[in-house]
Amino acid sequence: MSELTRRSFLLAPAAPALLRSASMTSKERIESALRDANADRPPFTLWHHFGLEGQGPEAHAKATLQFHRDYRTDLVKVMSDFPYPKPAGPWHELKPVDNPFPEQLKALELIREGLKQDGRNAPYFVETLFNPWNVAEKVSSPAEVQKLRQEQPQKLLDALQAIARSEINHAKAAIKRGAAGIFLAVANAQDGILTRAEYEKFSEPFDRMILQAVSDAPLNIIHLHGPKVYVDYFAKATGWKISGFNYSMHETGYSMRLARHSWHTMRGAIVGGLDHREYRNRSVEDLRDDVRLAVGDAGKRLIVTPGCSVPNDSKPEELRLLGEALGAFEA
């Protein structure tokens, strides 16, 4: 998109589709965003927790596929809420697990096969992983993890390394099952949980390990979760093996324009632009305006998404709004 074209787009009145009629596949739009290349319209996706893990991988996969088809997403962000296996003894006495999420792998296989039905229009899908610190909190509790950090830091480091190695096994298995990459959620790199120095010691090495292990995947995304997350720390850091950078500019106050110019490893796309907290209150016209602003800040290196998951009880007519705003239902 030339500067003149982009300016015209940003100043144009609302229209049924933000750009010209769709002529590209979902994969082509995502690849264009990663390469800073022209596209018929910005690619988009959104997600929430289905809460179907108790019903098994089939129900989880079916809901994921139906969500994609109902709302015409360009990227399938697979949620992953199956629990990590707990040890028989104290929670922190963890060993690496060859296959920590077998039900999730079955779901990924079903999602891969289901998306094949889309033929040429089959989109990329990415697998969600919660970083080792978050997994440790789920195995025990946030208070227990902090207590171990303060009283027996080496035991916590050993436990986090075991989780990281287990998650590396899962990430590699997910890629073998067709995932284009992983969506690594990091929620502990923020004020009130860990200082920057504490994050560097107790979490960053393990988060990097996971991403490094699947660095050849085309679409690894880091998700910075929470209102006080250290966005600038990640935007200015080097060496992260990622091609997508997702966070909430609305919660953090860190503009996408600043992220675009600060992200030292910029060989991919900014992923975001919408306020997940207000998504249900936005009209189609509001969302078009939000996307225009996001394009103005991020340019062509943009995958339009909320800064985090939208409310789980969002209604179908609300979930359709983003696709309607971007003209996904026009074709």
Q: How would you write the pLDDT of the chain (331 residues) with one tens digit per residue?
A: 444 344 344 434 333 344 445 589 999 999 999 999 999 999 999 999 999 989 999 999 999 999 999 999 999 999 999 999 999 999 999 999 999 999 999 999 999 999 999 888 899 999 999 999 999 999 999 999 999 999 999 999 999 999 999 999 999 999 999 999 999 999 999 999 999 999 999 999 999 999 999 999 999 999 999 999 999 999 888 788 899 999 999 999 999 998 888 875 567 899 999 999 999 999 999 999 999 999 999 999 999 999 999 999 999 999 999 999 999 998 6
Distances in Å between the Cα of 52 and the Cα atoms of 48, 59, 119 are 12, 6, 27
Q: Which tokens hold the place of 232? A: 């600038």
- Domain 3-85+94-132+156-325, CATH class in plain words: alpha beta
Q: Measuring CA to CA, which residue among 232, 234, 127 is closest to residue 183?
A: 127
Q: For residue 122, how far is the Cα from the chain centroid?
A: 19
Inter-residue contact 181 to 218 (CB < 8 Å): yes
Report how far residue 322's alpha carbon sits from residue 44's, in angstroms, rounded to the nearest whole number: 8
| Tokens 């179907």 found at | 52
pTM of the model: 0.91
| Contact criterion met (CB below 8 Å) for 329 and 323 | yes
Question: From CA 113, how far away is CA 128, in angstroms rounded?
Answer: 18
User: Which sequence spans correspond to the domains of the chain?
Assistant: 3-85+94-132+156-325
Residue 80 CA to residue 49 CA, distance in Å, equals: 8
Q: What is the pLDDT of residue 265?
A: 56
How many whole angstroms separate alpha carbon 164 and alpha carbon 62? 28
Judged on CB neighbours under 10 Å (0-12, 13-18, 19+), 23 is exposed
Produce one character per residue of 79-111: b if its CB has 16 or more CB atoms within 10 Å, e if not.
bbbbebeeeeeeebebeebeebbebbbbbbebb
How far apart CA 65 and CA 268 sit, in angstroms, is 25
Q: Is-contact 325 18, C-beta < 8 A?
A: yes
